[in-house]
Amino acid sequence: MTDSYAVIGNPIRHTKSPLIHTTFARQTGQDIDYGSLEAPLGGFAAVVDRFRAGGGCGLNITAPFKLDAFAYATELKEAARRAGAVNAMKFEGDHVIADNFDGIGLVNDIQRNLEWPIKGRRVLLLGAGGAAHGALLPILEQQPAEVVIVNRTVRRAEEMRDQIATRGTLLATGFAELPHAHPGPFDLVINATSASQQDELPPIDTGVFAATTLAYEMVYGKGLTPFLRLAKSAGAPRLADGVGMLVEQAAEAFLWWRGVRPHTRPLIEHLTVPLA
Ligand code: ATR
């Protein structure tokens, strides 16, 4: 029997997940069906209950339901627990096992695809929302020399720092204080704010970029965002958006569900919007 999976979100019409997972399934010979579900706000649990009752095996979770999924789970894997958010679920009888592959997807894209090792490097993380939370621990696990979290609302950056036990290399500040408190340049600057969704630019000093910086935009498919444009004009030699992170997190979920690791590179190439 064909196993059934889907992505759930609101809105969901622009999702790339069905394309990604059906491509993975074809490539690996897995017999799955992968669709998309739009749940009304406040209606996450009812839609998931119905999907499970119909025999659904697993879901990917996208905005704004990553916290609802966290609450819905009966068993949280380490990465989901630590990120405080869930982006993939597996259903086994009454059990709802939940994980979060966003952070590992990001790290795999940066280190494997972009060949930019994090160990020993200075990392600047812009933002302290859900996306930044998912990224922080997987980045720290790579043993960077230092991670500075910078956020518009400084308190949120400080709370994020304070939640982590190993604080030696983890710092938090606001955009105005950054150039004095933790002067650039950084080897890796990740934009995990949602500013680019509104075509906005976080108030970032150009001194964070240098001729050795990878500027990584988590948003994907928008070409040169204001953040990437700033990085380029400040001389950052490498620019990337989140298309690789999207495909890599999907590959981790696929491996978890099906026990086979798909190839990601052809799909990343297919989905890439040129950064020009
Ligand atoms: P997500 O789940 O996408 O991370 P979120 O949890 O709402 O969304 O967090 C959005 C992040 O983007 C926050 O860090 C937010 O800063 P505040 O905590 O100060 O609100 C940041 N953000 C959004 N728009 C921004 C802008 N124009 N400039 C700088 N930061 C911005």
Give tens-digit pLDDT for 90-109. Answer: 999 999 999 999 999 999 99
Q: Could you give the 3-state DSSP secondary structure of residue 47?
A: helix
Give me 230's structure tokens: 């700033």
Tell me the average pLDDT across 40-63.
Answer: 97
Atom of ligand 1 minimally distant from the CA of 193: 12
Q: Looking at residue 274, what DSSP letter applies? A: P
Q: Domains along the chain?
A: 3-100 (3.40.50.10860), 103-241 (3.40.50.720)
191 C-alpha vs ligand 1 centroid, how far in Å? Answer: 10
Give me 274's structure tokens: 């040129």
Residue identified by tokens 């009752």 is: 53
DSSP per residue, 88-125: EEEEETTEEEEE--HHHHHHHIIIIIS----TT-EEEE
pLDDT of residue 184 exceeding 70, the answer is: yes
Answer whether 128 contacts ligand 1 (Cβ < 6 A): yes
Q: Model-level pTM?
A: 0.94
Q: Could you tell me which of 217, 225, 221, 156 has the C-alpha nearest to residue 188?
A: 217
- Confidence class of residue 1 from pLDDT cuts 50, 70 and 90? confident
Give tens-digit pLDDT for 202-219. Answer: 999 999 999 999 999 999
Tell me the average pLDDT across 138-143.
Answer: 94
- Confidence class of residue 167 from pLDDT cuts 50, 70 and 90? low
Residue identified by tokens 């690789």 is: 244
| Contact predicate 260/254, CB 8 Å | yes
pLDDT of residue 168 exceeding 80, the answer is: no
199 C-alpha vs ligand 1 centroid, how far in Å? Answer: 13
The Cβ of residue 119 has, within 10 Å, a number of other Cβ atoms equal to 9
- Mean pLDDT estimate for the chain: 96
Burial class (CB in 10 A: 0-12, 13-18, 19+), 147: buried
pLDDT at residue 165, as a whole number: 74
pLDDT of residue 270 exceeding 70, the answer is: yes
Q: What span, in angstroms and rounded, lies between the C-alpha atoms of 207 and 205? A: 5
| Contact predicate 32/5, CB 8 Å | yes
Q: Could you tell me the maximum CA-CA distance found in the chain, to the nearest angstrom?
A: 61
Q: Which of 16, 66, 77, 119 is catalytic?
A: 66
218 C-alpha vs ligand 1 centroid, how far in Å? Answer: 12
Length of the chain: 276
Atom of ligand 1 minimally distant from the CA of 218: 3
| Type and span of the H or E element at 220 | none
Q: How far apart are the first and last CA of the chain?
A: 45
Protein residue whose Cα sits closest to atom 11 of ligand 1:
193
The Cβ of residue 274 has, within 10 Å, a number of other Cβ atoms equal to 6
Q: Does the active-site annotation cover 16?
A: no
Q: Could you give the 3-state DSSP secondary structure of residue 54?
A: coil
pLDDT of residue 188 exceeding 70, the answer is: yes
CA 46 to chain centre: 26
Tell me the average pLDDT across 71-95.
Answer: 95
Q: Could you tell me which of 234, 223, 209, 239 has the C-alpha nearest to residue 271?
A: 223
Answer whether 175 contacts ligand 1 (Cβ < 6 A): no
